[in-house]
Every structure is written in C-alpha cells, then in structure tokens.
Chain A
Amino acid sequence: MKKAFYSILGIAVVALIFIANVASASACVFGHYQPEVPESLRK
C-alpha cells in the first residue's frame, strides 16, 4: 500500500513538472491569470 502511494507521488511529480515545462513554453496557458514563472523555467 505504502509502495503504491509513493509510486503515485512519483507519477504526480513527473506530470506536474511536465505541465510546468509546457506552460512555461507557451506565451499564456489559457486563463486571464498568470502565476509567477520560476526563474529556472524562464526563457
């Protein structure tokens, strides 16, 4: 059970980093609010 929980956390981390990278590559995501892009993703 604990192992499954940690695997889900790992998948969530990979998915979130992917979303952050895709979002930072675009000029704007969709909505009318833009959160602060982290320095490491600015280009």
Chain B
Amino acid sequence: MERNVYQRMALFLSQQNQLASGKTAELAYGLEILFINGMNLLLTILIGFFLGVLPGTIACIIVAAAYRHTAGGAHSRSPWICAIATMIIFPTLACLGNFLSNGPPYYSYTIITAAALIGYYAVHFYAPVDSPQAPIISPQRRQKLKKYSYLVVSLLVLSLILMEAMTKYWLAARGVQLAAALTLIWVSFNLSDAAASFWYMLDNQHNSKNRR
C-alpha cells in the first residue's frame, strides 16, 4: 500500500508511542490539517502584508474560519488549488474592501446589509454543507451545526455593525469592515450549488491541464 508523507509521519509517531492502529489514521489527518491550513494561513497573511492590507486579510480569515467552521461549504479536491485560491481570494477581498472604503458611506451600509441578508439566506437554505471526504452522518449534529451557523452569522453581523463605531478612531476600520462583509458574502456563496459547480470546474481545469 502506497502511503503519503502524512501517513508515513503518523506511522513513525504511532510506532514510537506504541499507539493502536486506528490512531495512526487520526494522527495522519491531524498532520494534514495542521500542515495545509498552517501553510495557507501563513502565505495568505504574507501576501496581505506585502499588499498593505494585513488587517483586512486577517479580518477575512477570521470571518471565513468562524463561518465555515459551522456552515461548511464547497471544497476543492486539490490542496494546491485550495492554497492558490485562498492566497488570491482573501487578500483580493481585503484590497476590494480598502478600495470601496474610499467611497461614500452608503456603499458600506449597502454592502453590510447585503452581507447580512445573503448570510441568513444561505444559512437558512443550505447550511451545513458537508463533503464526501467529511460527511455529516448524524441528523442531530446537522441540526446543531445549523443553529450554530445562525449564531455565527448573527455575531459576525453584530461585529460589522459595532465596527462602525471604530471608524471614528481607526482610519483602516472602514476597509476592514468592508473586507469582512465581502468575506461573509463569499462564504455564503460557497454554501450554494453554484459554488460546488465552480470548484468542480476549477478541479477539472487543473486535471485536464495535467493530462495534456
């Protein structure tokens, strides 16, 4: 049986600690989660820093992590596509938030209202969205995740509203607020069927290029 690098590392760790065979798979999963998400986070923050939108990028990451934790969403089958998409999407949303913050205040009010409405709509009709790699088996767990998704969206919308007060004291606050609102819209889109088709199309594009 061919093992990937995470499985080999997990096997070494479980042999050294004399763990049961079932724990090796859990260790490999933990290693994969830690490595992929760690690299994604680090590279996305670096790109945000070099583009001069670090606070906005961090806000995008926090919103996406909190929202996707309970609501889930569409996924790519390739860790490379995921890494590239994450590195492009979050700093872009932060730049877009920064750019829109120079416009009149009704821009931000419209975007925040749209984010709240789209967020609640997506949670009501789609959340939680699982994947074949991580299926949600129990109906109770599904129900619980849906309730938590409502709670997370409510907290995020409340934070967006409260951030309005910060715009008087912190110059970048408006940009960060808009970046967070745009991320809320992006993650809500990721719950829809259109997002599943979008990621499927990206995966297939990648695979057809590899075959050539």
Contacts and interface: CB of A to CB of B under 8 A. Distances in A.
Interface of A: 6, 9-10, 12-13, 15-21, 23-24, 26-43
Contacts of B82: 31-33
B19 A34 contact: no
B118 interface: no
A29 B41 CA distance: 12
A27 B26 contact: no
Nearest to B65: A30
Contacts of A6: 16
Contact of B29 (A9, A10, A38, A43): A38
A20 to B, nearest CB: 4
A34 to B, nearest CB: 5
Nearest to A41: B26
Contact of B141 (A12, A16, A32, A43): A43
A18 B31 CA distance: 11
A16 to B, nearest CB: 3
A18 B81 CA distance: 27
Interface in B106-127: 127
Contacts of A18: 30
Given A9-B17, A26-B70, A28-B73, A33 B36 contact: yes
Contact of B72 (A13, A27, A43): A27
A30 B29 contact: no
Contacts of B31: 16
29 contacts: A6-B16, A9-B16, A9-B17, A13-B14, A13-B17, A16-B26, A16-B30, A17-B23, A19-B33, A23-B30, A23-B33, A27-B130, A28-B71, A28-B75, A29-B69, A30-B69, A32-B73, A32-B74, A32-B75, A32-B76, A33-B83, A34-B131, A34-B133, A35-B79, A36-B134, A37-B133, A37-B135, A38-B26, A38-B28
B85 A32 contact: yes
Given A30-B65, A33-B36, A37-B133, A24 B72 contact: no
A32 B81 contact: yes
B17 A10 contact: yes
Nearest to A18: B30
Given A13-B19, A28-B69, A30-B64, A37 B13 contact: no
B16 A32 contact: no
Residue from A16, A33, A35, A43 whose CB has the most chain B CB atoms within 10 Å:
A33
